[in-house]
Amino acid sequence: MKHFYPFSLQRKRRSNNFKKILSGLTILLGGVGMTSAQVSSYTFSQSSGNYNSISGTVLGDATGNTAATSLDSNLYPISLPFNFVFNGTAYNSANVSTNGFITFGATAPTAGTTTPISGTAAYDGAIAAWGRDLNSVFDINGSTGNISWTTRGTAPNREVVIQWKDFRPVYTLSVTNVYLFSFQVILQETSNTIKTVYNNGAFLLGNTAVSSTVQVGLRGSSNSDFNNRLNTSSSEFVNSTPGTLNTSTQSFNSSSAVPGMPPAGLTYTWTPPSCYTPSGLSAGATTANTIAISWNASSSAPGTYDVYYSTNNTAPTSSTAPSIPPVSGTSTTLNSLAPSTTYYIWVRSNCGGGDTSMWTSLPVQVSTQCMPPSLITTTGATACTTGSTTLTLSATAAPGATIRWYDTQTGGNQLGTGNTFTTPSISSTTNYWASAANIGNATNVGPATPAGVGSGSAESTSWDLLFTAKTNIALNSVDIFPGTVGQTGAIEILTASGTSITSIPFTTTVSGNTTAQTVLLNVSLPPGTYAMRRTGTAKLYRNNGGAVFPYSTPEVVITGTTFSSYPSYYFYFYNLNFTPTCESARTMVTAEISCMSTSETQMKEKIKVHPNPFSDYINISRPELVKSVKITDITGKLIRTINNPDSVLRLSDLSQGMYILMLEMKDGSQEQKKVIKK
């Protein structure tokens, strides 16, 4: 026979306590994936048949009865003779573990993986017939275990059979109490059906009961996508029910009828759906009333897709009606949404004739932007001087809004608030910008101090704090707790894609885990996911335990850190202070140093638009002074740009409502006019 050798034979024998720690971590970290639930849509059935042993290609033989020689935690890659479609993807290879399972995909499990369904390894999927820590025996009463595989039948109805022969139900090195049994995983061509088949077991030596639990079933590309079996020690193995968690197991006992062991020929069958769930659902651009979404095409090539959205995260069922008409492509835009509102969105394949997939297992959560108040008018100012002077600019906004004044169109510095702004002393024409904003109350989120969270130390490691803004906010400041006075560093804010938004330098002025140094940030953020990062040489206090995520307000949620292996750590940034803010786009207002004649100045100031309200057209009184006209709705969305306008603007195609005419003058200044279409 041809023998295949494992690519990893190294094995560290772990103590029982260490196994418990690993198991606890697996449970703690489980269920974090964001993939589509597809293996959960496989149909399960159980039957009684025959166990047909194979004598195929041997992957590994037990050669002794020690940890290193008894097929303890070895892994073998195999090439499949046909493309097997698992969870909607075709595979021509698999990895076979002596711990009772196989996996698919480029990422293999570690040789010591013992929880194939609840584990967080990044393989594409797993089939567990008897998933736990296992090993076999060598030459005990004439029995030696091995693991092998073969192909049966002819195309297009072949099947791959992978067999674990004469394995112990649990890992043990005992040579005085030996219970053995066998089992198989079967992959069927064309139908892509999965079977696990069991043979009954028996004692070779001794009669001390062997009992424990085992993971049996399927896992998708993350442990949030599972289809497994469950029975407790008080119910028979053959009477299992669907698992409720990715950690659900089947109890067994070699010597007791309840729960017992699998009888000879017990067959579990998982049949794939005919209509697969699409994957990769994500949100794109948002406005106050729209959300763009997209997803990856389903392997079922459905004719259309259904979309459901809601303001609560209660998942839809198979009978839930879609929220919008069927979508023929893999993207759409949700319209007529409420501003400043969080929506949960699901999608499913619609293969026609009532055949639909399951909805995506976890929704995309995304918030619409706020509806900013309108900046109604702006008025610049002009002075004729050979020296320097101050000028007063003015603007009006919707009732209740605050007018903010800036030195640049985006970013930059806020110079003041109010309907008027007096410039500093200037000697040449200078542009400023005004916006209208609705401003909420300043709020804090996150722990107040490292000492209040738990143990920690001052460090300079590169781990980020992650947070989500559910609405527009001004991130005002954050508290840091330096280890030493006089060190330099910076606080960087990044988007979810890693793009830097701003970097704020600081020099530490205090030290200790109870004395805060407040760093002003003053950065405006739209709804989205962000990271806050420490850079530089400054060592800041962080916690190595005690954090309980998320830290939440209705507007901002601190979700965790990039140090995901240790979810109770908290890094560097405490007491985040922010103000919910909804702000319009900025409009340029010019402080002009010019010595035009009085008649020229009056001519410029006499530009009028009429009628207002209008039906089909608007007249501009002095079009020769206007370079362009931009027409926006009250949210700031650009509707049209008219360069070198005539005296008549024909706007009969606009819908009824309020619009802003932004007049860009040939001298570089701007004026805004609010108009209403009847």
Residue 128: inside a domain, yes or no? yes
Structural domain includes residue 179:
yes
Same domain, residue pair 486 and 538:
yes
Question: By the 8 A CB rule, do 479 and 517 touch?
Answer: yes
558 part of a folded domain: yes
Give CA separation, 109 vs 24, 198, 267, 322, in Å: 18, 24, 26, 38
Q: Same domain for 431 and 313?
A: no
CATH of the domain at 665: 2.60.40.3080
Alpha-carbon span 185 to 198, nearest angstrom: 9
Looking at the structure, do residues 377 and 248 belong to the same domain, yes or no?
no
Query: What is residue 27's predicted lDDT score, i.e. its pLDDT?
Result: 28
Distance CA 191, CA 84 (A): 9
CB 175 within 8 A of CB 143: no
591 and 603 co-located in one domain: no
Last residue of a domain, one of 271, 291, 321: 271
Task: Kindly state whether residues 119 and 179 are assigned to the same domain.
Answer: yes
Tokens representing 601 are 């100045």
Residue 454: inside a domain: yes
Residue 1 has a pLDDT of 37
Phi-psi region at 80: left, alpha or beta (left = phi > 0; alpha = psi -120 to 50): beta
105 and 215 share one domain = yes
DSSP track, 287-304: -SS-EEEEEEPPTT--SE
Tell me, yes or no, whether 443 and 536 share the same domain. yes
- pLDDT given for residue 605 in this prediction: 53
Domain that holds residue 589: 372-595
pLDDT at 302: 95
Domain boundary among 367, 397, 414: 367
Return the amino acid letter for 513: N
Distance, in Å, from the CA atom of 342 to the CA atom of 370, rounded to the nearest integer, reads 11
**Alpha carbon separation from 498 to 335, 478, 512, 529, 530 (Å, rounded):** 29, 20, 30, 10, 8
Peptide bond into 259 cis (omega under 30): yes
Q: Domain for residue 457, yes or no?
A: yes
Q: How far is CA 630 from CA 14, 213, 267, 584, in A?
A: 71, 70, 71, 16
Please check whether residues 249 and 115 belong to one and the same domain. Answer: yes
Residues with Cβ within 8 Å of residue 104, at least 6 apart in sequence = 86, 87, 89, 91, 93, 94, 95, 123, 124, 125, 126
Q: What is the mean pLDDT of each run of 10 residues along the chain (678 residues)?
A: 37 33 29 51 96 96 98 97 94 98 97 96 97 98 97 97 98 98 98 98 97 98 94 98 97 97 98 92 90 93 96 94 97 94 94 93 86 90 91 94 90 88 95 92 96 94 93 92 97 92 95 96 88 96 95 92 91 96 89 70 65 86 87 83 87 85 84 85
Decide if 29 is inside a domain: no
CA–CA dist 142, 129 (Å, integer): 25
Strands 43-48 and 125-131, by their bridges, are unpaired
User: Into how many domains does the chain fold?
Assistant: 4
- If one counts every other C-beta atom within 10 angstroms of the C-beta of residue 66, the result is 13
Do 532 and 613 belong together in one domain? no
**Does 14 fall in a domain?**
no
Q: How far is CA 318 from CA 87, 193, 306, 308, 400, in A?
A: 19, 23, 11, 11, 46
Contacts 24+ apart (CB under 8 A), 243-248: 243/217, 245/30, 245/31, 245/118, 246/30, 246/31, 246/117, 246/118, 246/219, 247/26, 247/27, 247/30, 247/115, 247/117, 247/118, 247/215, 248/215
CATH number (domain holding residue 288):
2.60.40.10
Contact criterion met (CB below 8 Å) for 283 and 34: no
Name the strand (E) or helix (H) holding 46.
Answer: strand 43-48
Domain's final residue, options 341, 367, 393: 367
In terms of domains, do 192 and 150 share one?
yes
Beta strand pairing status for 587-593 and 381-383?
parallel
Examine the domain organization and report whether 446 and 461 are in the same domain.
Answer: yes
Q: List beta partners, residue 500.
A: 494
Same structural domain for residues 553 and 665?
A: no
Residue 472 near residue 580, CB atoms below 8 Å: yes
> Residue 16: inside a domain, yes or no?
no
Q: Which of 589, 592, 648 is nearest to 620 (CA)?
A: 648
